[in-house]
Amino acid sequence: MPENAVPNKYPAQPMEITSDETYAKLRNDLEFWEPWGRRALAAAGLPAPGALRVPGESTNPVLIADTGVVVKLYGEHWCGPENYASEAEAYEVLAGQGLPVPPLLGRGELFPGGDAWPWPYLVMAAAPGATWREATARADRPTQLALARRFGEVLRRLHSVPLSGTGALRPDSPVFAELLAERRAATVEDHREWGYLSPRLLDRVDDFLPSVDALLDGGKPVFVHGDLHGTNLFVDAGNASVTGLIDFTDVYAGDPRYSLVQLHLNAFRADRGLLAALLEGAEWQVTDTFAEDMLRFTFLHDFDVLEEVPLDLSGTDDIGELARLLWDVR
User: Which residues partner with 253 through β-bridges?
Assistant: 223
Q: Considering Cα of 99, then 101, then 102, then 104, what sign does the dihedral take? A: negative
Q: What is the reported pLDDT for 14?
A: 54
User: Which residues partner with 63 through β-bridges?
Assistant: 71
Catalytic, out of 115, 227, 255, 288: 227
Q: What is the reported pLDDT for 111?
A: 87
Q: Are 308 and 265 in contact (CB under 8 A)?
A: yes
Please give the C-alpha separations between residue 260 and each of 108, 168, 242, 295, in angstroms, as whole numbers: 33, 19, 17, 11
Backbone phi and psi for residue 73, each to the nearest 5 degrees, phi listed first: -110, 150
What distance in Å separates the CA atoms of residue 186 and residue 216, rounded to the nearest whole number? 19
Backbone phi and psi for residue 64, each to the nearest 5 degrees, phi listed first: -110, 125
Ordered per-residue pLDDT tens for the chain, 330 residues: 344 333 444 444 556 777 888 888 888 899 989 999 999 999 999 999 999 999 988 889 999 999 999 999 999 988 889 999 999 999 999 999 999 999 999 999 998 887 788 999 999 999 999 999 999 999 999 999 999 999 999 999 999 999 999 999 999 999 999 999 999 999 999 999 999 999 999 999 999 999 999 999 989 999 999 999 999 999 999 999 999 999 999 999 999 999 999 999 999 999 999 999 999 999 999 999 999 999 999 999 999 999 999 999 999 999 999 999 999 998
> Among 18, 38, 5, 24, which Cα is nearest to 116's?
18
Q: Considering Cα of 6, then 303, then 69, then 61, what sign does the dihedral take? A: negative
Active site includes 227? Answer: yes
Name the maximum alpha-carbon separation found in the chain.
58
Q: What is the reported pLDDT for 304?
A: 96
DSSP state for residue 86 in the 8-state scheme: H
Q: What structural domains and CATH numbers belong to the chain?
A: 20-125 (3.30.200.20), 130-327 (3.90.1200.10)
Q: How many helices (H) and strands (E) does the chain have?
A: 13, 10
Beta-carbon count within 10 A of 235 CB: 30
Threshold 0.85, pTM exceeds: yes
Q: What is the reported pLDDT for 3?
A: 41
H helix or E strand, kind and range, residue 109: strand 104-109
Q: What is the reported pLDDT for 243?
A: 97
Given the DSSP bridges, would you call strands 62-65 and 69-73 parallel, antiparallel or unpaired?
A: antiparallel
